[in-house]
Structure formats: structure tokens, C-alpha cells
Amino acid sequence: MRVIDSVAQLRAALDPIRRRGGRIGLVPTMGALHEGHLTLIREAARVSDEVVVSVFVNPTQFTDAADLAAYPRDPETDAAMAASAGATVVFAPTPGEVYPAGFSTGIRVGGVSEPWEGTARGAAHFDGVALVVTKLFLMVGADAAWFGRKDAQQVAVVRRLVRDLNIPIEIHAVPTVRDADGLALSSRNVRLSAADRAKALAIPRSLSAAGAAVADGETDADLLTARAHEALRAAGIEPEYWAIVDPDSFAPLTRIETESLAIVAAPVGGVRLIDNELLSP
């Protein structure tokens, strides 16, 4: 497994694979790898000849400088974990390599990027995601890329970006990986105290309860949303949002007639958590 920090070295390393018709997979990450990331890497390795894992804390998608500074970084551990899961290349560029002096280009994906996370984190968040993902796709020239469904709106933004710009890459979304207690894996979970972690379990419970109700025939999205808000508040959590949306456009739904998505964002102990669950009527 090779660790590469420049675009020129990356392309030189991948050119022989591409010339002989090998399949290149990409798993974009911001490091602080956990089992969720490793699941993505294993999925990519299963069907790829070369697996590139990018490790880059992207400054353009942070709207809070303190949040960027506090984001966990452990490049040596990340590289070892990526290799253990099947990565053949770790691409770990510096901010200056990705955004050199004079960089002045931006990308905006309208519509799906605007509500929910786009509102909560500001328009610059998904603009930054779209920009760095596009750059990674062009740097790596991968045949396919793997993302986690926990960041469902991000996946929807990336899918729209690829469709709109005719980028020749397959996008794979892998189901959310959870701890044994049901909490969705996140690099931010390490900042939860034991008490706050116990409280946070109300978030996946609210989603599971909605899924069970829909399976039993409930189709009123407004009713399910109101119940979820009540349950979270009873657990001492004030959600930023809990809603049922179309999985592609992220437009809110009032009735569940086809596969839908329940989404939630809530602060717990100063840590902002997001989660979601597909609802099938």
C-alpha cells in the first residue's frame, strides 16, 4: 500500500492500472477512519483492481473555523486501517495541493443541496463538498466511488453533480454502519460522554419507530414527524430537524406512498449528530 500526497504522483501510480484496463475504485474520506469507512473500502476492494482512499480534511466545506480545527487527525492510523481493509493507495494531499495559490473556481449544486443540511450548515458546506468531490474524481479518474448512506443528503448531492456534469463514474451508497447499541458510526462520536451517548440513542430509536409504523401501514408523514419530535424532546433532545423526504430531491413529503427517507439532525452534548432511515410502505 502506497501513501501519496501529490496529484502528479497519484496519476503516475494509477496510469499503468488504467492502461491495462484495470478497475479503479475511490473512497473519499476526511480521515479519522472507523468501521463505517472500512466497510466502504472493503466494498470497493471486492470489485476493484486498485482502491484509492483519499484522506483530506476539506476546508471549503467547513463554515466554522473551530469545527475545522477540532476535526480529529491521525494520518498514520488512518493509513494502517485503510490498508487493512484493502486500500492499495492512500491519497493524502495538503490543502495547498488541492487548492493552490490563486485557486478561484467554485461548484454549486442547486435544489437538493439547499434544504436541511444546506440550511443548517450554510450554502458553503455543500458547495465545498461538490468542489472537493469533483476535484477528487478528476484527480483519481476512478471508475466508481463509494459513500456511506449516513450522509444521505451528501450522496444525493453527489449523484446530482455526476448526472448534471456527465462525469463518467458510478456512485455506490453503502448502508449505514451502526454500533451494537444502534448509534450510527461517526468520527464525532468520540466526543460524546457516556451519559450523552446514552441520550443520543433516542435518535436511532425515533427512526426505527417510524420505520415500524410505516411497515404497519401508517402513511401520514406529518403524524410520524410529530411523534418523533415528541419522543426526542422527552429524551432531552431538541432536534434541528426530523422530517420525511423524497430520497432524491430531499423535498418534504406529507404522505408516504413510495420509498421515502426519514432524516434527523440534533445536537447532543455539544456534538451535532445526523442519521436517517429508509421507509418502505
Q: Residue with C-alpha cell 463514474?
A: 169
Q: What is the pLDDT of residue 72?
A: 87
To the question of whether residue 118 is assigned a binding role by annotation, the answer is no
Over residues 142-167, the mean pLDDT reads 98
Boundary residue ending a domain (174, 198, 216) = 174
Of all residues in the chain, the percent with pLDDT exceeding 70 is 100
Q: H or E element: which one contains 271?
A: strand 271-279
**Rounded Cα distance, 130 and 28, in Å:** 12
Of 50, 51, 49, give the one whose Cα is nearest residue 40: 51
Q: In 6-22, which positions are buried (b, 16+ CB within 10 angstroms) versus exposed (e)?
A: ebeebeebbeebbeeee
Over residues 62-83, the mean pLDDT reads 92
Q: What is the pLDDT of residue 45?
A: 98
**Rounded Cα distance, 84 and 67, in Å:** 29
To the question of whether residue 153 is assigned a binding role by annotation, the answer is no
Encode pLDDT of 248-257 as tens digits: 999 999 999 9
- Residue 182 belongs to some domain of the structure: no
To the question of whether residue 33 is assigned a binding role by annotation, the answer is yes
Q: What is the pLDDT of residue 137?
A: 98
Encode pLDDT of 90-138 as tens digits: 999 999 999 999 999 999 999 999 999 999 999 899 999 999 999 999 9
For 272, residues 6+ apart whose C-beta sits below 8 A from its C-beta are 188, 240, 265, 266
How would you class 46 by CB atoms within 10 Å of its CB: exposed for 0-12, middle for 13-18, buried for 19 or more?
Answer: exposed
To the question of whether residue 255 is assigned a binding role by annotation, the answer is no
Q: Is 172 a catalytic residue?
A: no
Residues 141 and 218 in one domain: no
Q: What is the pLDDT of residue 67?
A: 87
Query: Please, which residues bridge with residue 191 across strands?
Result: none
- Residue 181 belongs to some domain of the structure: no
Catalytic member of 37, 125, 172, 229? 37
Encode pLDDT of 229-240 as tens digits: 999 999 999 999
For residue 71 the three cell numbers come to: 476535526
Domain of residue 139 covers 2-174
Residues 46 and 139 in one domain: yes
Residues 133 and 7 in one domain: yes
- Ranges of beta strands (E only) in 175-270 are 241-245, 260-268
Instruction: Give the number of other Cβ atoms within 10 Å of residue 149's Cβ.
Output: 19
Residues 30 and 78 in one domain: yes
CATH number at residue 167: 3.40.50.620
Over residues 257-261, the mean pLDDT reads 97
CA atoms within 13 A on the CB side of 107: 19
Boundary residue ending a domain (148, 174, 200) = 174
**Mean of pLDDT over the chain:** 97
pLDDT band, very low/low/confident/very high, at 5 (cuts 50, 70, 90): very high
Number of domains, the chain: 2
For residue 224 the three cell numbers come to: 410520524
Q: What is the pLDDT of residue 70?
A: 85
Query: Please, which residues bridge with residue 275 across strands?
Result: 264
User: What strands, in cross-sheet order, belong to the sheet with 50-55?
Assistant: 2-4, 89-91, 50-55, 24-29, 144-148, 170-174
Q: What is the pLDDT of residue 183?
A: 98
